[in-house]
Structure 1
Amino acid sequence: MIDVRQAVPEDARELIRLRKVMLDSMGDDPAPSGEWERTGVTILERQLSGRDGMLAAFVVDRPDGTGLAVCVVGAVDQRLPNPRDPTGLRGYVYNVATDAAYRRRGYSRACMNALIDWYATRGVSAVDLRASAEGEPLYAALGFRRTDEPAMRLHLPAP
């Protein structure tokens, strides 16, 4: 049995370390270290403290040491409702990351199932994520499907 637990504020540094593992695996060059990591730790410490209940992370501890083997992080976004989405609650999976030594053990699937259950208990009607080619089979097996919704993005200059 895989021992999945909900992350606590003390896990924030490990969650950001695993986020960098994920980012490194998606690009040609490693993600640079920097202020984004400190900011991420601060955000996670605050949001995992349970004050707003709109973000959760599920993790598996390394079975042979300290730290985390895998994590998933997701949030609830309150949008305006519409006839097909009467609550306006949407989920977004920010990252699924597994240290290389712990892959292919079912840890990510177990954590994703825990996150999906967490969304369901909050009345979330749809969950979105961006899938890497490596992760897409897992997400498809969990019921995620590609959408035909057009997406656009505007990047604003930093203040």
Structure 2
Amino acid sequence: MNKIIYRKTTKADMKILMKLRLEMLREVNGLSGEYEYDENFIFESRRYFESGEQTTVIASDGETLVGCASLSYTWIMPTFSHPTGNRAHLMNVYTRADYRRRGISKKMVEILIDEAKENGVTEISLDATEMGRPLYESLGFKASDSCMVMDLEG
């Protein structure tokens, strides 16, 4: 194993971004490696990465891509607790199974947290899997009882 290299992606990394995202979604959702994604899903995923309203960090071991994590930026009406209205949502945190438990996801998230602070973000939210909760708690994330969600497609 080489030293893990971390870097922020650019639009030129679209193939890498899409490959890792689709790989992650297959694993998280228990889909086979042959699962075919809907064309509209692919289109919208590309559009998201091209929008520039996110930062994605990838981790590589030599030529092997081993992980990714994304921070999606949102701007909402300022509140007393978030006077700038700058918020972010952490998502797409993924490390390949054979590279887990080595601090790779933690390092990628730390890079994104540092960038969020530099950009004046006052809150980062996320949706955690049971497997991911210990990582996020170790970084200072706390469960919230204040959020409510309405699924408009269900």
Tell me the TM-score normalized by structure 1. 0.82
User: 2:4·2:61 contact (CA, 8 Å) conserved in 1?
Assistant: no
Aligned length: 149
> Equivalents in 2 of 1:124, 1:80: separation in Å?
13
What does residue range 4-153 of structure 1 map to in structure 2 within 5 Å? Answer: 4-30=6-32, 32-35=36-39, 36-44=41-49, 46-48=50-52, 54-63=53-62, 65-66=63-64, 68-153=65-150
Q: Quick check: 12-21 or 106-115, which moved more? A: 12-21
2:115 and 2:136 map into 1 onto residues whose CA distance is 16
Cα distance in 1 for residues equivalent to 2:100 and 2:38: 27
Q: Which residue of 2 aligns with 1:3?
A: 5
More strand by share: 2
1:28 positional shift: 4.1
Shift, 1:86, TM fit:
0.6
Counterpart Cα distance in 1 of 2:108 and 2:89:
14
Q: Secondary structure at the match of 1:5?
A: strand
Instruction: Give CA deviations for 1:64-86 in whole Å, capped at 9, x if unaligned.
Output: x35x2111011110000011111
- SS of 1:22 mapped into structure 2: helix
**Alignment correspondent of 1:51:** none
RMSD between aligned residues: 2.1
Structure 2 residue runs without a partner (length 5+): none
Q: Which runs of 4+ in 1 moved over 4 A?
A: none
Structure-2 change in CA distance of 1:135 and 1:152 (3 Å):
same
Q: How far has the Cα of 1:16 moved from its partner?
A: 2.2
Q: Percent identity between the aligned chains?
A: 28
Distance 2:36 2:140 in 1: 33
TM-score (norm 2): 0.85
Go from structure 1 to structure 2 and tell me whether the alpha carbon gap of 1:32 and 1:130 turns closer, same or farther (over 3 Å shift). farther
